Structure 1
Amino acid sequence: MADHYSNNDQHQRYNERLAKLEERSILALNNSAKRRKPLLKKQLPNLKQFRLKRNLQRIISVVLPFSLILLFMLYIISPLARINQVVVSGNHHLTDQEIEQATQVKKGRFIWGSIAMSPARLQKIQTRNAQIKSVKIVLTGMRSVDIRVKEYDVIGLINVGNQPKLLLSNGKVRPVTGHLEQFIAYDGFKNHYGILKLTAKEVGRLKPAIRNGISEVTYSPTTLDTQRLKLVMNDGNTVFVRADTLAEKMSYYPSIVANTNGKRIINLEFGAYSYGYSSKAK
C-alpha cells in the first residue's frame, strides 16, 4: 500500500516537471516569435524595394533598346537627317555644281551617308570627274556640310578623236568646261599615252611662270631619244627636252634665256646648249 502511494507521488512529480518543461518550451517559442516579428517587419520593405528595383531593371533592359531603335528610325525619316546647306571650297576650275554632281552630296541627301569617305568612294568620285584629286566632306552644322576639294591642274588642250579635251596634270583628259585664258596645245601623242602621261605630270610640276610661257608641246622622238619633246615658247624660242627630265631642265630656262640674245633653239636633252635659228647646228 505504501509502495502504491509512493509510485503515485513520483508519477505526479514527473507530470509536474513535464508540464513545467512544456510551459518553458511554449514560452521560449513565444519569445522567439515576438523577436522575429519586428525583424520581418524591418526586412519586408527592403524585399519589396529590391523586387521593385529588379522589375524596373528588367523593364528598362527591354524598353530602352526598342526606344533607341524607334528614335533612330524617326530621325532617319525626319528632315533633321537631311542636308539643307552645301558649301564647296578649294575648287578653282570646277564649278560647285560639278563638285556636287561628282560627290553626290546635295541638298536633301542623308547626312551620315554623305560625309563618310573611303578609298572606294573617292575612286568613284574620280571616275565621275578625273580632275578631282582629293575630297574631304566635313559636317559644319546639324544639317550643313562643307565639300573641301583639291584639283589636278589643267595644263592644256589636246585633240582626242578630233574633239578638244582638257589635259590634266595627272595625264587624264576631260571635256572642256569653263573659259581658258591661256593654254598649251599638245600634239603628236596619238597612240603614245605613256609619254603623254609622263609629259603631263612633268608639266604639272613646273612653276606657273614657266608653264605659262609654253605655247605648244609636240612629241618629236628620234632614234637616239625616244622621249624627245619640242616646246614652242611664247617668247619665240624653241626648246628640245626629254619628257622624263622636263620639270628639272626647264627650271633653268629663265637663267638660260637671260644669258642669250634673240630667239634661239635651246637643247636640254643631254646637257644644255643653244644656237640661233639661222645656224646649221642640230
Structure 2
Amino acid sequence: MLKKRIRISKNSLIFIIVFVIVLIAYFGSSLSKVRNINVKGVNDLGAQQVIDATKIDDNSTLFNVLLHHKSISEKTEKKLPSIKSISFRTHNLRDLTINVQERPTLGFISKNGGYYRIIDNGQILKQKMSSPIGNYPTYSGFSKSRLKQMSNIYANLPSNVKTNVSEFYNAPTKLNPYRIKIDMNDGNKVVADMRTVKSKLKYYPGMAAQMKKKGVIDLEIGAYSYPFKGKK
C-alpha cells in the first residue's frame, strides 16, 4: 500500500512560520491584553462590582477571557446571584464589553441592623446594606413563604402603583390571617388582603386622587377610604 506524501510549498511554509511568529509576538505584547472594559445592562449592581467579580483586569488577555468565558460567567453568577446571565463581546482587538442581565429587585427586608435585597425568584441576597437603594419597598413581619408570595405580587403590580409603594407590613388578625398594611409614598396607608390585593391595588391611583385629605384606603373587603383621625 502506497503512502501519500503531503507536500507543503515553500510559500505556505513561509506563511505558517510568519503567522506563528506574529502570534507569539502578539501574545507576548501588551496588545493582547484587555485595554478597556465596558459593562452594559446593570441597574442595581455597580459596573465595577461586576468587573471585580469576573476578576478581569488589564493583565487579562482577550484570548483567555474568550477561551474561559463559560467558567468566568459561572463564577461571576455564583458570586453575584442577582445576575441572571452574563456574556462577553470584544471589539477593536483590545476592548471588552460585558453584557449583564440582572434579576429584578423586588424590595428589601430589614434584619440584623441592615437591609437585604430580594430578587425576582424570592431569594434574599446575603449582601448586607446600610440602607435600601433605589425606589423599592421594604417588607416587615412576613414568613419566608409569605415574603416570596408578597414580593411576587408586587412584581406584577401596575408601574404607577409600584413606584408609590413604600412598605408592606404583615398584619394578620384572628378573622383574617391574610391581612396586610401598606405605606404609600404619597402619605396614604392601605389595608388589604393578600389574596385580593393584586387585583384591587390597580384602583388605588383613582381612589387616592379623589381623597381631599391623606388617610386610609381600605381594600380588605370592599373598597373605601377615610381620613386619618385627628387630621383636619
TM-score by length of 2: 0.71
The 5-angstrom pairing of residues 132-151 of structure 1 reads 132-151=83-102
* Counterpart contact for 1:170–1:200, Cα < 8 Å: no
Q: For 1:219 and 1:66, how far apart are their aligned partners in 2?
A: 73
Alignment match, 2:165: 214
Q: For 1:138 and 1:267, how far apart are their aligned partners in 2?
A: 52
Structure 1 position 196 matched with structure 2 position 142: no
Structure 1 position 184 matched with structure 2 position 184: no
Question: Unaligned 5+ residue runs, structure 2?
Answer: none
Q: Which amino acid aligns with 1:186?
A: Y
* Counterpart contact for 2:114–2:130, Cα < 8 Å: no
SS in 2 for 1:196: helix
Q: For 2:196 and 2:19, how far apart are their aligned partners in 1?
A: 62
Aligned mate of 1:162, from 113, 119, 128: 113
Structure 1 position 273 matched with structure 2 position 226: no
Alignment match, 1:10: none
Q: For 1:204 and 1:178, how far apart are their aligned partners in 2?
A: 21
Question: Unaligned 5+ residue runs, structure 1?
Answer: 1-53
* Counterpart contact for 2:138–2:166, Cα < 8 Å: yes
Closer, same or farther in 2 for the Cα pair 1:60/1:243, shift >3 Å? Answer: farther
Closer, same or farther in 2 for the Cα pair 1:266/1:181, shift >3 Å? Answer: same
CA-to-aligned-CA distance 1:211-240 (integer Å, 9 cap, x gap): 232222112234565544321123333223
* Counterpart contact for 2:216–2:228, Cα < 8 Å: no
Aligned mate of 1:127, from 78, 82, 95: 78
Closer, same or farther in 2 for the Cα pair 1:55/1:196, shift >3 Å? Answer: closer
Closer, same or farther in 2 for the Cα pair 1:179/1:235, shift >3 Å? Answer: closer
Shift, 1:274, TM fit? 2.0
Aligned mate of 2:59, from 105, 108, 111: 108
SS in 2 for 1:114: helix
Closer, same or farther in 2 for the Cα pair 1:196/1:135, shift >3 Å? Answer: same
SS in 1 for 2:7: helix
Shift, 1:82, TM fit? 2.1
- Identity between Structure 1 and Structure 2 (%): 23
TM-score by length of 1: 0.60
* Counterpart contact for 1:195–1:227, Cα < 8 Å: no
- Bigger helix share: 1
Aligned mate of 1:251, from 181, 194, 202: 202
Shift, 1:195, TM fit? 2.0
- Taking only aligned residues, the RMSD between alpha carbons, in angstroms, comes to 4.0
Q: Considering only CA atoms, is the larger Rg found in Structure 1 or Structure 2?
A: 1
* Counterpart contact for 1:86–1:146, Cα < 8 Å: yes
Structure 1 position 84 matched with structure 2 position 35: yes
Shift, 1:158, TM fit? 1.9
SS in 2 for 1:56: coil
Q: For 1:226 and 1:149, how far apart are their aligned partners in 2?
A: 40
